[in-house]
A and B are shown apart, each in its own frame.
Chain A
Amino acid sequence: GAVVSQHPSRVICKSGTSVKIECRSLDFQATTMFWYRQFPKQSLMLMATSNEGSKATYEQGVEKDKFLINHASLTLSTLTVTSAHPEDSSFYICSARELGGQPQHFGDGTRLSIL
């Protein structure tokens, strides 16, 4: 089946550091990838939709300068949390949708902890 690989799985770093998270579709091409954030015991909140070769579409309330998204190829999207602070600590999950269809396949998530 379709596999989405997300790296790293866990990051612990100091406040002010920028952190890059990668999302790769391993065995299919994905023109669209999605980035979600999940707080403890809560549902997934869509942050942005990443489109290959064009600018990402951000959800209301998500700072585009804070969460930089690059979707440079049909198999890779990256999320960079710039100048991270403790309030950015969260579980970040990406998903990828196969070309022209459904469903979305999810990565295993990245747990980000900012000290």
Chain B
Amino acid sequence: GEDVEQSLFLSVREGDSSVINCTYTDSSSTYLYWYKQEPGAGLQLLTYIFSNMDMKQDQRLTVLLNKKDKHLSLRIADTQTGDSAIYFCAEVSGGYNKLIFGAGTRLAVHP
């Protein structure tokens, strides 16, 4: 069945780059997403990539997609304390285009 996996925790120093990795199983996924969740809040769409793309860059965010390995990554350049949050990777699956989420990666940014 569908499954999305991501590492649970990442700690980086302020100003460094953060790379959050994700693997998925549904090769027919048309879109892959990155969402950000701050404590007690809903999900904020950060970026998404269409399956026929290898890379997408949006300001400090760079998404890389390796469709052969079913691997997705999110790179945050010049990470700031405000980037501390949980980041969810998600793939689109099924006729209703429902989202299958990973467990979330908690990003901690320290001075």
Q: By the criterion CB–CB under 8 Å, are A43 and B35 in contact?
A: no
Q: By the criterion CB–CB under 8 Å, are B99 and A34 in contact?
A: yes
Contacts of B24 in A (CB 8 A): none
A52 to chain B, nearest CB (A): 12
Q: By the criterion CB–CB under 8 Å, are A104 and B99 in contact?
A: yes
CA distance A57 to B98 in the complex (A): 11
Q: Is there a chain B Cβ closer than 8 Å to A111's Cβ?
A: yes
Q: By the criterion CB–CB under 8 Å, are B103 and A42 in contact?
A: yes
- For window 84-109 of B, CB contacts with A under 8 Å fall at 88, 92, 96-104
CA distance A97 to B30 in the complex (A): 15
Contacts of A111 in B (CB 8 A): 40
Q: Is there a chain B Cβ closer than 8 Å to A106's Cβ?
A: yes
Q: What is the 8 Å Cβ interface bit string for chain B, positions 2-34, against chain A (1 contact, 0 not)?
A: 000000000000000000000000000011010
CA distance A42 to B44 in the complex (A): 16
Q: By the criterion CB–CB under 8 Å, are A43 and B43 in contact?
A: no
Q: Which of B43, B48, B97 contacts A32 (CB 8 A)?
A: B97
Instruction: Please report the total number of A residues contacting B with Cβ < 8 Å.
Output: 22
- For window 16-36 of A, CB contacts with B under 8 Å fall at 32, 34
CA distance A104 to B30 in the complex (A): 13
Which interface residue of B45, B97, B98, B103 has the most chain A CB atoms within 10 A?
B98
Q: Which of B42, B92, B97 contacts A108 (CB 8 A)?
A: B42
Q: Which of A42, A57, A109 contacts B42 (CB 8 A)?
A: A109
Q: By the criterion CB–CB under 8 Å, are A44 and B44 in contact?
A: no
If A6-B42, A93-B43 touch, whether A44 touches B96 (CB-CB below 8 Å) is: no
Q: Contact residues of A with B, CB < 8 Å?
A: 6, 32, 34, 42-44, 46, 49, 51, 57, 93, 95, 97, 102-109, 111
Show 19 A/B contacts (Cβ-Cβ < 8 Å), sorted by A.
A32-B97, A34-B98, A43-B101, A43-B102, A44-B43, A44-B99, A44-B101, A46-B99, A49-B98, A51-B96, A95-B99, A97-B97, A103-B33, A104-B97, A104-B99, A106-B43, A107-B42, A108-B41, A109-B40
